[in-house]
Structure 1
Amino acid sequence: MKKPVDGFSRLSKEEKIEWLASHYFQDRKDAVSIIKQYWNTDAGLQKLHDEFIENTITNYYLPFGVAPNFSINGHLYSIPMCLEESSVVAAASKAAKYWLKRGGFKAEVLSTEKIGQVHFMYNGDKQKLIRFFNEIKPSLIATTDGITKNMRKRGGGILNIVLKDKTDKLSNYYQLHATFDTLDAMGANFINSCLEQFAKTFKEGAARNEDFTEEEKDIQIVMSILSNYVPNCLVRAEVSCNVEELNEDKNISPVDFAEKFVRAIDIAKAEPHRAVTHNKGVMNGIDAVVLATGNDFRAVEAGIHAYASKDGSYSSLTHATVENGIFKFWIEIPLALGTVGGLTSLHPLVKLALEMLSKPSARELMQIVAVAGLAQNFAAVRSLITTGIQKGHMKMHLMNILNQLGATENEKKQVADIFKDKTVTHSDVIKEFNNLRTKTL
């Protein structure tokens, strides 16, 4: 019978594993063996990984792949991608090679403004609150001087603070809405530290404000936290060429390809059910690079999906047009990324990934990540409107199926040869594998 445990975080790693193995696994010995199998043989490196989070018992590996041949603003990149989905790196690489022959990708950062908010409740005269805010605003900024000093030296820091009335959404609810430029840092800790100081200064100032009644002085700070929705931290990536250059598929003319491609994007704009899957394909590329470079893919996901709903309905993140014989395909998304701080200077593979990308600034990384998302989406839509998505995806998934079946290297080669010119289905792979095994008995 399972029982709660007290003080789990205080147990040694060996003790944690022993407790888990004893309470949650039928084969205790096998569970311990699997857990320890993924430990790094370098004790120092393993200790580094152990200290990234609490209650670490082992490492969880994801493949670290590379998509080469990306031409971005005239520079050639091999893009690191970290994920488990079988066809993503292959699709991104194929899209990179396709557009390498057609002028490559263009990308630009449109803005880098990040947001943080102090959420508070105020029960009183709104005009008094406005006057108080205008009086104390310089002090809000001044009292963060110690926090912002180094950031300001590099050209970043607090951009502005405004008072926002949200009482139409929630009774007595207001915000201090602050904007920041954190340069090459993602900036979460910097922003949150500033916000907490804003809140302290604001509340103490309110308590001393002679214009307020006693009730008005009692401002309730609910929370101080950055927002992962950064609609003014934007990057754009695009590809374009003459329609006649869209000529690699012999089964469809360039004109028909362009028309079907634009219609596919239009459908993703109009139909949320399609848009979710469409954007998931975009995020296959984005998340893989964000993870490989040690950034927060959960924050990126949340912000981008919110942006996809900014007009009141969930819609496509990508856009396509054909005008005057020119095919254009682009994406414009919010991305708050960092190339300093966090794991970027700690995780050896993150450092390697950033070096592979020529040690980019945060602005350059924004462009690279946006391009990866655009490339992945192009590859997916291209497959959907021509051969269908399953042909390429299942071909890549073939090795996963064979590994699940316990195939030998020779068996993998033989089954792969069978499906060289055939569509891969799970049932057909099992059938051919079983036939092969029967013949060798």
Structure 2
Amino acid sequence: MTSLNGKPSSLIPDFDKLSIDERLRHVERFAGLSEEDMQQLRAPSNLDRELANHMIENMVATIAIPVGVATGLRIDGEEFLVPMATEESWIISAVGNAAQACHDTGGFTTSASGSCMIAQVQLLGLTNPHSARIAILEKRNEIAAECAACDPTLTRFGGGFHDLEVRILGEGADAMVVVHLIIDCRDAMGANTVNTMAERIAPKLQAWTGGRPALRILSNLADRRLVRARATWIPEALGGEAVRDAILEAYRFAEVDPYRAVTNNKGIMNCVSAVVLATGNDTRAVEAAAHGYAAASGRIRSLTKWEVAPDGALAGSIELPMPVGLVGGAVKIHPTARALVAILGVKSAEHLGRIIAAIGLAANFAALKALSTHGIQKDFMAHHARNFAIGAGATGDEIDLVARSLVERRSISTAAAEQVLAEVRKSR
């Protein structure tokens, strides 16, 4: 089955019922993977011990996380299979189901604000912070030149220094001047780049103002690097207008109550972080940025917005910071991350970020629909039953036998799994 633009469709019937090798063959055909990529994905261990030893200090072992692919994603008119690295049950199939429900009505539309990060330099001990602020702003061209000298390659590719901001925080003896170097990082996440620029410019700032440089570090509140996605689901794909309205009621709960909002956003980040991890990016940076952005108004709110379109469809949108890259860091040196990026076929960090935004929106749709209808436990625990079976000691075909029995009995616990496993083995 092919899409309108000639690319294979990401809709793969019964993908979850295929063997691992069969799934990999589908992915290989869809993404046009090389034999090297396929060998890496089939390897018992995805990370060479010596490479791991050079990635971190005190390395003693590597830990494998399952990687699945979400199917049915139509994003900006293109078909995608999206790799997700996670130990969490249910979320990959949930994303695929959400994507399939809006696939025939256009899927997801995405956009981005840019690829800028902020480097902060804190200046202390100034008795004239307002004059110092103006003096720094007067040096904009010199600051731009210093930043360009830090990374000529980035500048050559159209990145580098983008803008300058100077803020005054506090009053009197407690006042501090905080300089923001706004740097276009292009296809890099940018932490090392902006930190280097902050370190380089700090002595200059001291010479110009007399202030004492203190912290010189990036900000992870990446609000100059936003990604957005939107989609609509017709009532027929939801199960009717009553389901649509129930989803809206669940969303409003997250908008007005911080206790619900935190959990709502955690569900979004379950899936966002799974793609970030699969592509070798920094999950902690993305998590920090997203949760900080959700609380930017002074009270944490949902990262998504839900409303009714003029034709009665459910319209959802999401906006969140996305400090991810395709050059530098683990994304370049981890061979499995490179192979998983190849599945996506993205050529820029911005494109990767926009796909991740669509995944976040799909995740929230799936969670709100489950919560507002039959409850999350029915879907989650049915998948999680396998984990309880494995934890009880089940192996091979015993795992599915025990899991099915647990779901049928509606009793999913370690004790129940141990009892069912004993019964299975006794019957053989």
| Same fold at TM > 0.5 | yes
Q: 1:418 to 1:200 in 2, by over 3 A?
A: same
Asked if 1:63 is matched to 2:55, the reply is no
Q: Give the structure 2 partner of residue 240 of structure 1.
A: 232
In the other structure, the counterpart of 2:124 is 121
Residues 251-330 of structure 1: pairs in structure 2 closer than 5 A? 254-324=240-310, 325-330=312-317
Tell me whether 1:183 sits opposite 2:186 in the alignment.
yes
CA offset at residue 419 of structure 1? 4.7
Equivalence for 2:218: 226
For residues 43 and 83 of structure 1, what CA distance do their matches in structure 2 show? 15
Structure 1 position 204, deviation (Å): 3.1
2:260 is matched by which residue type in structure 1?
Answer: R
Any idea what SS the aligned residue of 2:290 has? helix
1:1-400 equivalences in 2 (<5 Å): 45-168=48-171, 171-206=174-209, 217=210, 219-247=211-239, 254-324=240-310, 325-400=312-387
Q: Distance in 1 between matches of 2:218 and 2:122?
A: 11
The amino acid that maps onto 2:238 is L
Post-superposition offset of 1:361 = 0.7
> Structure 2 counterpart of 1:95, which letter?
A
Give, in angstroms, the shift of residue 127 of structure 1: 4.5
Deviation at 1:430, TM superposition (A): 3.8
State which structure, 1 or 2, has the greater radius of gyration over its C-alpha atoms.
1
Contact 1:121–1:173 (8 Å) recurs in 2: yes
Q: Please give the secondary structure, in 2, of the residue aligned with 1:59.
A: coil
CA distance in 1, matches of 2:225, 2:47: 37
Q: Distance in 1 between matches of 2:148 and 2:264?
A: 45
Task: Report the Cα distance in structure 2 between the residues aligned to 1:194 and 1:91, rounded to whole angstroms.
Answer: 42
Superposed CA offset, 1:99-136 (max 9, x none):
22332111111333321110111332235424432443
RMSD: 2.2
- Indicate how the Cα distance of structure 1 residues 323 and 372 shifts in structure 2: closer, same or farther if over 3 A, else same: closer
Q: Deviations over 1:400-434 (max 9, x none)?
A: 11111112334334334435655352154344334
Structure 1 contact 394–423 (Cα < 8 Å) conserved: no
The amino acid that maps onto 2:263 is T
Using the alignment, how far apart are the partners of 2:79 and 2:243 within structure 1? 27
Q: TM-score, normalised by structure 2?
A: 0.84
Structure 1 Cα separation of the partners of residues 112 and 217 of structure 2 = 25
| Deviates most, 310-319 or 234-243 | 234-243
SS at match of 2:317: strand
Farther-moved stretch of structure 1 (371-380 vs 110-119): 110-119
Amino-acid identity (%)? 32
CA offset digits 1:368-421 (Å, max 9, x no partner): 111111111111111111221111111111111111111233433433443565
Deviations 1:79-105 (A, max 9, x none): 111111122212122222222233211
Query: Residue type of the partner of 2:216?
Result: S
**Equivalent residue letter for 1:153:** R
Q: Deviations over 1:128-162 (max 9, x none)?
A: 42443244333222223321321121111111112
- List runs of 5+ in structure 2 lacking aligned partners: 1-42
**Structure 1 unpaired stretches of 5+:** 1-39, 207-216, 248-253
Q: How many pairs are equivalent?
A: 384
Could you tell me how far 1:229 is from its partner in structure 2?
Answer: 0.1
TM-score by length of 1: 0.82
CA distance in 2, matches of 1:270, 1:78: 35
8 A contact 1:71–1:100 mirrored in 2: yes
CA distance in 1, matches of 2:187, 2:227: 15
